[in-house]
Amino acid sequence: MLWVVLVLVAIVLLLVLWVVGIYNRLVRTRNRVDNAWAQIEVQLKRRHDLIPNLVETVKGYAAHERGTFEAITQARAAAQRAQGPAAAGQAEGILNQALGRLFAVAEAYPELKASQNFLDLQGQLRDTEDQIAVSRQVYNDTVLTFNNAIQTFPAVMLANSFGFTKREFFEIEDAGDRAVPQVSFVPDSSTPPAAEPPPTPSDAPGTSS
């Protein structure tokens, strides 16, 4: 009888160790996801901090471009308020579009393009965006690993019980790409029909060959 008890105890201990091992592995992977997202947030904050100085520099040469400045200010504020990877990706895409308009304005002012301050800020922004791209790849790879882990056997049996849920990927949406122009192939009814060509001499009545 004693050996039966010992076997049962051993089985319970093995099950406990198995559950603890899976739990710890999922916690470590989730922590890597959180750390990767924290790195992205640092780079996004740096990007947001560079934008006001960039706007002020452009204002010095193109103060009348109020619409562009207001659009980028609003887009930056929305990006700062965004919570989570999905919302942040959408907001950063809109901010990208606004920045594109700002740089398009700068193209019209050779003196601005030659300004050392503008060039420095543009370079810092480009470097930051490169770092965001690298950090985004690391984050998305880590999310893929975590999501696969909680959806595959045997972890899938325990993930929901311990509160492990799928994480969002971070994809920066380009707001310009979502606006697809609609092309209509239906002829306009207001357009008059084309006039028929006049008859040739051979087609005129009474003309014989």
Looking at residue 72, what is its pLDDT?
Answer: 95
Looking at residue 19, what is its pLDDT?
Answer: 87
Looking at residue 180, what is its pLDDT?
Answer: 34
Give Cβ neighbours of residue 121 (< 8 Å, ≥ 6 apart). Answer: 50, 53, 54, 57
Looking at residue 196, what is its pLDDT?
Answer: 53
Q: Which CATH number fits domain 8-172: 3.90.76.10, 3.40.30.10, 3.40.50.300, 1.20.1440.20?
A: 1.20.1440.20
CA distances from 158 to 13, 138, 144 (A): 17, 26, 18
51 in Cβ contact with 164 (< 8 Å):
no
List the domain boundaries for the chain.
8-172
Name which of 88, 67, 70 is nearest 79 in CA terms: 88
Residue 142 has which token pair? Answer: 């880590």
CA distances from 21 to 26, 149, 154, 158 (A): 9, 13, 11, 11
Looking at residue 208, what is its pLDDT?
Answer: 45
Looking at residue 178, what is its pLDDT?
Answer: 39
170 in Cβ contact with 139 (< 8 Å):
yes
CA distances from 149 to 23, 126, 204 (A): 11, 35, 85
CA distances from 35 to 77, 151, 182 (A): 24, 21, 43
pLDDT by position in tens, the chain (length 209): 778 778 888 888 888 888 888 899 999 999 999 999 999 999 999 999 999 999 999 998 888 888 999 999 999 999 999 999 999 999 999 999 999 999 999 889 999 888 999 999 999 999 999 999 999 999 999 999 999 999 988 888 888 888 899 999 999 876 444 333 333 334 444 444 544 555 555 554 554 44
Q: Is the pTM of this model over 0.85?
A: no
**Residue 208 DSSP SS3:** coil
168 in Cβ contact with 198 (< 8 Å):
no
